[in-house]
Amino acid sequence: MVSDSTRTYRHSGTQQNICGKWAVPSEPVEMEAQSWRIPLLLLVTLILMIKLGHFQRWEGFQEKPMSKQNMNSTLHFFIQSYNNASNDTYLFQVQKLIRSQMQLTTGVEYLVTVKIGRTKCKKGTGRSTSCPMQSNKLKKSLICTSLIYTVPWVNYYQLWNNSCQDS
């Protein structure tokens, strides 16, 4: 080791002018003690950015109210998809929105639970919005939980998952 009045150095083989003197340079002992400061500073910066919300967090599904427009178009898409896939002779309508959760991804994912019921309108009649509900032995209600992906600003909808049970 070479020492002067201001710094202590380890030998690395080349010479350098330090404080007006030629000395054999190497990493200062002080630098070793300070080498942890940069990673610590980066870690503190990262924690502050996360706490202050500079990074988008994917928090999963949240119970947030759906706008009327998004709710109507999403539920309309759902019931159309259900009716198209159903083997039932009659159309079904949404009777009640039980639960709605949303998650922002590349679009919006809605996890909805609805009560649907069989109407008196048969498939292929063209009437689907003003059909009265069945009230006799043909009455049938289901509780459906569905995952619907939508990009509402381009009017794109996709039914990713659907499960219905008798209510």
Count the Cβ atoms, other than its own, within 10 Å of residue 100: 19
- Spatial CA neighbour of 118 closest among 162, 164, 69, 71: 164
What confidence tens digit (pLDDT) does each residue in 46-72 have? 676 666 654 455 567 777 777 778 888
Confidence of residue 146 (pLDDT cuts 50, 70, 90): very high
Predicted local confidence at residue 86, as pLDDT = 95
Which whole-number Å values give the CA distances from 165 to 115, 143, 145, in the listed order? 10, 5, 9
Distance (Å, whole) CA 79 – CA 76: 5
Side chain identity, residue 137: K
- Spatial CA neighbour of 128 closest among 166, 165, 75, 164: 75
Q: What is the pTM of this model?
A: 0.62
